[in-house]
């Protein structure tokens, strides 16, 4: 029996044109595609003849458990199929790609990882926000507001040091807590923040304000889609998208 293979492919931040050439080629030749809710529909259309399985991952709406997803990948690979596991952004950035890679390789399944543009980079580019502008930031930290068991144990005073940029994933529901932690850590209430929702997509919205009013900014903008919170001097430059639907909020 021929051996199948699993490709963990990053779909990019939302705009389907931002997937890699390799990811696109793999989608066009896959036998099966297992995808998350952040994977753009237009990318699935590249695989019209493949078996396409939505495996969920939206918060509180997991269509399958992590174990079930891995079992589905293994079963198909053992049947000799070429399987694309399509994940939003980059598979290894807050995407559990590492867990899937370990699970599959431990069971002897050949796996290849195809990187994608992670949401922080896509959102920053689409909002005109230079994450390491020489005048403002000498470091960039990607942070998740949600750990395996709730709030992650982060070194907030270190994250609050000046001269860096934070890109916070999954932070909208925790905006008040994030702001308090950073203010307690020593960041000024006047530090610029920008919330980029549905980055790189036509529905992209950008809300800009200050750290001291982050919670109000998020509440007033009614952020409902996936969003990245940027914190740091460089966030001051954030503006609407190429297809602008900016939310002109200065809370
Ligand atoms: C489970 S994480 C997956 C991250 C993904 N692996 C990546 O590299 O971008 C989901 C979070 O990524 C962020 N995200 C993903 N796509 C986004 C987009 N188009 N605009 C803004 N934030 C996005 C949001 O913070 C969302 O809650």
Cα four-point dihedral sign 30, 31, 35, 40: positive
Given a cut of 70, whether residue 132 has pLDDT beyond it is: yes
> pLDDT per residue over 23-82, tens digit each?
999 999 999 999 999 999 999 999 999 999 999 866 556 678 889 999 999 999 999 999
Per-residue pLDDT, 1: 52
What number is the average pLDDT over the span 147-165?
91
- Is the per-residue pLDDT at 249 higher than 60? no
Question: Which residues are known to be catalytic?
Answer: 36, 57
227-242 mean pLDDT: 84
- What is the three-class DSSP state of 111? strand
Q: If you measure from the C-alpha of residue 147 to the centroid of ligand 1, how many angstroms do you get, rounded to a whole number? A: 14
Which residues are bridge partners to 87 per DSSP? Answer: 10
pLDDT at 74: 96
Q: Work out the angle at residue 98's Cα, subtended by the Cα atoms of residues 72 and 15, and round it to the nearest 5 degrees.
A: 80
Q: Establish whether residue 97 lines the binding site of ligand 1, counting it when its CB lies within 6 angstroms of any ligand atom.
A: no
- Tell me, what's the pLDDT at 246? 44
Residue with tokens 């495996």: 55
DSSP assignment of 100-112, as one string? HHHHHHHTT--EE
Identify the band that residue 251 occupies on the pLDDT scale cut at 50, 70 and 90.
very low
Distance from the CA of 191 to the center of ligand 1, in angstroms? 23
Neighbours of 75 (CB within 10 A): 13
Note the pLDDT of residue 2: 61
User: Does ligand 1 come within 6 angstroms of the Cβ of 126?
Assistant: no
C-alpha dihedral sign at 26, 199, 190, 211: negative
The pTM assigned to this predicted structure is: 0.92
Site of tokens 């602008």 = 244
In this predicted structure, the answer to whether residue 129 has a pLDDT above a threshold of 70 is yes
Distances in whole angstroms, Cα of residue 178 to Cα of each of 87, 143, 233: 26, 11, 17
Residue among 165, 184, 188, 171 at smallest CA distance from 223:
171
Q: Is the CB of 209 under 6 A from ligand 1?
A: no
Pocket test for ligand 1, best of 9, 18, 88 (most atoms within 8 A of CB): 88
Q: Give the lowest-confidence range in 26-35, 116-125, 216-225.
A: 216-225
Q: What average pLDDT is seen over the chain?
A: 91
Half-sphere exposure of 37 (CA within 13 A, CB side): 12
Please tell me if the CB atom of residue 123 comes closer than 6 angstroms to any atom of ligand 1: yes
What pLDDT sits at residue 247? Answer: 46
Cα-Cα-Cα-Cα dihedral sign, residues 168, 139, 180, 154: positive
Q: What is the pLDDT of residue 245?
A: 42
Q: How far is the CA of 95 from the centre of ligand 1 (A)?
A: 9
Using 50, 70 and 90 to split pLDDT, how confident is the model at 243? very low
């Amino acid at each position: 029996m021929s051996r199948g293979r699993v490709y963990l492919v990053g779909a990019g931040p939302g705009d389907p044109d931002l997937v890699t050439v390799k990811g696109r080629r793999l989608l066009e030749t896959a036998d099966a595609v297992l995808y998350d809710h952040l994977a753009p529909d237009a990318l699935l259309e590249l695989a019209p003849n493949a078996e396409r399985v939505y495996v969920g991952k939206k918060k509180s709406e997991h269509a399958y458990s992590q174990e079930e997803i891995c079992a589905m990948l293994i079963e198909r690979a053992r049947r000799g199929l070429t399987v694309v596991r399509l994940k939003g952004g980059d598979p290894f950035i807050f995407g559990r790609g590492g867990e899937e890679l370990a699970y599959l390789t431990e069971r002897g399944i050949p796996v290849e990882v195809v990187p994608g543009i992670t949401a922080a980079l896509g959102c920053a580019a689409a909002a005109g926000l230079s994450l390491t502008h020489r005048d403002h930031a000498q470091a960039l930290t990607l942070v998740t507001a949600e750990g395996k068991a709730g709030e992650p144990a982060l070194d907030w005073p270190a994250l609050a040091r000046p001269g860096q940029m934070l890109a916070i994933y999954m932070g909208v529901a925790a905006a008040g807590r994030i702001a308090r932690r950073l203010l307690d850590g020593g960041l000024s209430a006047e530090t610029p923040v920008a919330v980029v929702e549905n980055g790189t997509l036509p529905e992209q919205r950008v809300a800009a304000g200050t750290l001291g009013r982050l919670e109000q900014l998020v509440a007033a903008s009614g952020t409902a889609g996936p969003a990245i919170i940027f914190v740091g001097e460089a966030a001051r430059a954030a503006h609407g998208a190429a297809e602008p639907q900016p939310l002109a909020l200065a809370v």
